[in-house]
């Protein structure tokens, strides 16, 4: 808008006054000689029935004024430096001036005057609380701005009320964040002493305040958004960390952005080691590429994919569900993986299968014990009598009779093992030092290993006392060591180790050999009754061991690499009272 303080010379005031007189007297005027906004304002004043010869206004109570100022405290503070600039500029032209700051209804909140601005010189009210809206004081630099919503200059006789004719008034609105007027800045100067920069300075001041208010509002919105985001992140962390499933979130670049507590427990990795870094396969898995990375590359989800992997301590069965994250343009922005540890479920299923097998074996064993053992007892008895008789007669067939007795005893031993597998004795639990049990066992077994050229190594960790059946666990250790001994060709080392896993509240007993290893297809069959790869094996030793460990609420895990060796790990629970 053109600065009308420059475009309308003071000499035109005589013409304006003449037009004003005609208008208030009801005479016809030429509107082309009058600023259009002025003519519209006069018409509004007539409609409001404003007295052109007297200022009639209203005032706020002190309480109401204080309340209205408190709502605009920030805006008033922002205006302060601009008011000083305007005062300095006005002072170069006149020491008589009036600066008013009003609210959205035209009531004065603050007023400022020049050095020579006395009540005698200023004939208009300017005390805080006075109303300057058009329906109260007629058109002026404040009321007309509120009526039109734009910056305006009302010069001398353009005012409808005669008391304002001594003044040139400039006003500019301050627009709030909702697009409505929250305040008006008005500057009053004596006619003929106007500064050519007043209009520009006033508008610039209000625009600067609007910008500052908008910036403050944006900063507040940004803070609120950040607070909301922090709350959402906190809620997400609480919810995800309370889940029993592992949760991993990647961005579109494959960078880990979230790794919850359950995921830490599943893979025994601290989240701090992964968050903010590229995702990689941190577990031994048979898949060439992690499903999370495949999901990002292929923009595809995966549902209920079961994976067998290892966290470097245990083998795990994990049920994997991968979902894609998309942005507002439906582009892939990341992926979230939900990992459910179903290891214990698979172990329970395996136990149930074994129990079903053993139930069938138990029925067979009962019949075999009756149908085979009784005749064998009779046969052995007669063989023993014949052997003793032949010894007295020095019969050369006595040697064959001894062989017959040995074979019968071997068959009886097989039946005993079979019965133990089918109907295991309940363990006699007692507190025991597993490390001491191993040391005592090695004293006996070491000589057998020495005869086959195999060394026995020990790596016993510091472990707590556990509750076990010593004889049964010793039998498990013997079965595992004998299998390892038979797997090696007159050389190598069998290493027996123990460890305490405090987080899982269990100890592990491992028997490791450096033999030829077990093919992957056979590992899942281990522990199955009668399954053996040895020429003279019965396939009952490992079955009995699995049954014993299961009765101890433990488990056996197997790791094997062809041409490198095999490791059997027995995990047994630790009870807190020990």
The ranges assigned to domains in the chain are 1-218, 244-343, 347-422, 430-573
Instruction: Let me know: does 191 contact 165? Beta carbons within 8 Å.
Output: yes
**What does the pLDDT read at residue 419?**
63
Rounded to whole angstroms, the Cα distance separating 364 from 358 reads 9
Number of other CB atoms surrounding residue 493 within 10 Å: 15
Length of the chain measured in residues: 578
Q: Taking the mean position of all CA atoms in its chain, how far away is CA 395? A: 88
Q: Phi and psi dihedrals of 211, rounded to 5? A: -60, -40
Rounded to whole angstroms, the Cα distance separating 381 from 402 reads 12
Nearest Cα neighbor of 198 from 75, 93, 41, 79 is: 93
Q: Phi and psi dihedrals of 168, rounded to 5? A: -105, 125
Q: Taking the mean position of all CA atoms in its chain, how far away is CA 544? A: 47
**What does the pLDDT read at residue 122?**
77
* Interacting residues of 241 by C-beta distance below 8 A, sequence separation 6+: 260, 261, 262
Q: Which CATH class is domain 430-573?
A: alpha beta
Rounded to whole angstroms, the Cα distance separating 291 from 300 reads 10
Nearest Cα neighbor of 366 from 425, 427, 418, 412 is: 418
**What does the pLDDT read at residue 497?**
94
Rounded to whole angstroms, the Cα distance separating 578 from 566 reads 32
Q: Phi and psi dihedrals of 173, rounded to 5? A: -80, 155
**What does the pLDDT read at residue 537?**
57
| pLDDT tens-digit map of 245-269 | 999 999 999 999 999 998 888 888 8
Structure tokens at 368: 């075999």
192: left (phi over 0), alpha (psi -120 to 50) or beta: left
Rounded to whole angstroms, the Cα distance separating 101 from 83 reads 10
Rounded to whole angstroms, the Cα distance separating 361 from 546 reads 15
Decide if 1-218 and 347-422 have a common fold. no
Nearest Cα neighbor of 181 from 154, 159, 205, 151 is: 151
Kindly state which CATH superfamily the domain 1-218 is placed in: GAF domain (3.30.450.40)
Rounded to whole angstroms, the Cα distance separating 447 from 432 reads 25
Where would I find the H helices in 423-535? 434-451, 470-487, 520-523
pLDDT per residue of the chain (578 residues) written in tens, 0 to 9: 444 544 344 447 888 999 999 999 999 888 887 888 999 999 999 999 999 999 888 999 999 999 999 999 999 999 999 999 999 998 888 888 999 999 999 999 999 998 876 655 678 889 999 999 999 999 999 999 999 999 999 999 999 999 999 999 999 999 988 889 999 999 999 988 877 888 999 999 999 999 998 998 889 889 999 999 999 888 988 888 888 899 999 999 999 999 999 888 888 888 888 888 888 776 666 666 788 888 988 899 999 988 887 776 677 888 999 999 998 889 999 999 999 988 888 877 877 777 676 666 666 666 666 667 667 777 777 777 777 777 666 777 777 777 787 777 777 776 666 666 556 677 888 999 999 999 998 988 888 888 888 899 999 999 999 999 998 899 899 889 988 888 887 788 999 999 998 888 899 999 999 988 888 777 777 766 666 666 555 667 787 888 888 888 888 888 888 888 999 999 999 976 44
Rounded to whole angstroms, the Cα distance separating 578 from 564 reads 37
3-state helix, strand, coil in the chain (%, to 5): 45, 20, 30
Indicate the burial class of 58 (C-beta count within 10 angstroms; 0-12, 13-18, 19 or more): middle
What is the CATH code of the structural domain delimited by 347-422? 1.10.287
Which strands, in side-by-side order, build the sheet including 493-501? 455-460, 493-501, 506-513, 565-573, 555-561
* R_g (Cα) of the chain, nearest Å: 50
Instruction: Let me know: does 195 contact 93? Beta carbons within 8 Å.
Output: yes
Rounded to whole angstroms, the Cα distance separating 37 from 208 reads 25
**What does the pLDDT read at residue 358?**
65
- Number of H helices and E strands in the chain, helices first, is 17, 18
* Interacting residues of 392 by C-beta distance below 8 A, sequence separation 6+: none
Fold classified for 244-343:
Beta-Lactamase (3.30.450)
């Amino acid at each position: 808008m053109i600065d009308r303080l420059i475009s309308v010379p003071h000499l035109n005031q005589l013409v304006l006054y003449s037009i004003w007189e005609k208008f208030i007297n009801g005479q016809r005027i030429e509107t082309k000689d009058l600023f259009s906004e002025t003519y519209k304002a006069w018409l509004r004043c007539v409609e409001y029935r404003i007295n052109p010869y007297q200022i009639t206004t209203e005032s706020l109570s002190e309480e109401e004024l204080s309340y209205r100022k408190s709502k605009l405290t920030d805006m008033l503070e922002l205006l302060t430096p601009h008011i000083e600039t305007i005062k300095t500029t006005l002072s170069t032209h006149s020491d008589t001036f009036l600066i008013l700051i009003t609210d959205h209804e035209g009531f004065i909140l603050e007023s400022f005057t020049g050095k020579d601005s006395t009540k005698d010189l200023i004939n208009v009210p300017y005390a805080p609380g006075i109303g300057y809206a058009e329906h109260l004081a007629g058109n002026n630099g404040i009321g007309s701005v509120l009526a039109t919503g734009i910056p305006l200059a009302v010069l001398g006789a353009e005012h409808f009320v005669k008391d304002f004719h001594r003044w040139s008034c400039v006003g500019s609105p301050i627009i709030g964040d909702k697009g409505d007027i929250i305040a008006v800045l008005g500057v009053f100067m004596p006619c003929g002493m106007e500064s050519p920069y007043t209009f520009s300075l006033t508008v610039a001041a209000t625009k600067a305040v609007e910008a500052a208010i908008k910036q403050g509002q944006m900063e507040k919105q940004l803070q609120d958004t950040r607070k909301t985001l922090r709350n959402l992140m906190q809620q997400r962390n609480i919810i995800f960390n309370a889940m029993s499933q592992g949760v991993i979130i990647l961005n579109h670049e494959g960078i880990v952005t979230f790794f919850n507590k359950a995921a830490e427990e599943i893979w025994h990795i601290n989240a701090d080691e992964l968050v903010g870094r590229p995702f990689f396969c941190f577990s031994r898995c048979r898949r060439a590429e992690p499903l999370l990375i495949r999901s990002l590359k292929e923009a595809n989800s995966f549902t209920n994919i079961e994976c067998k992997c290892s966290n470097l301590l245990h083998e795990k069965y994990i049920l994997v569900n991968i979902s894609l994250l998309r942005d507002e343009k439906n582009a892939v922005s990341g992926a979230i993986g939900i990992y459910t540890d179903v290891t214990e479920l698979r172990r329970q299923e395996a136990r149930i299968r074994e129990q079903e097998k053993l139930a069938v074996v138990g029925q067979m064993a009962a019949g075999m014990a009756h149908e085979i053992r009784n005749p064998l007892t009779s046969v052995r008895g007669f063989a023993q009598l014949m052997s003793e008789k032949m010894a007295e007669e020095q019969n050369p067939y006595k040697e064959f009779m001894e062989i017959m007795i040995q074979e019968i005893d071997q068959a009886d031993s097989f039946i005993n093992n079979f019965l133990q597998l089918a109907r295991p004795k309940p363990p006699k639990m007692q507190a025991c030092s597993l490390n001491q049990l191993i040391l005592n066992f090695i004293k006996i077994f070491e000589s057998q290993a020495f005869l086959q050229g195999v060394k026995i190594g020990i790596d016993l960790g510091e472990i707590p006392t556990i509750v076990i059946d010593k004889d049964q666990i010793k039998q498990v250790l013997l079965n595992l060591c004998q299998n390892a001994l038979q797997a090696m060709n007159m050389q190598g080392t069998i290493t027996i180790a123990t460890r305490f896993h405090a987080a899982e509240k269990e100890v592990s007993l491992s028997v490791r050999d450096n033999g030829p290893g077990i093919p992957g297809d056979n590992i899942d069959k281990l522990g199955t009754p009668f399954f053996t790869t040895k020429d003279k094996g019965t396939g009952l030793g490992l079955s009995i061991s699995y049954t014993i460990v299961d009765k101890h609420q433990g488990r056996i895990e197997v790791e094997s690499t062809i041409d490198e060796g095999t490791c059997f790990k027995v995990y047994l629970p630790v009870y807190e009272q020990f």
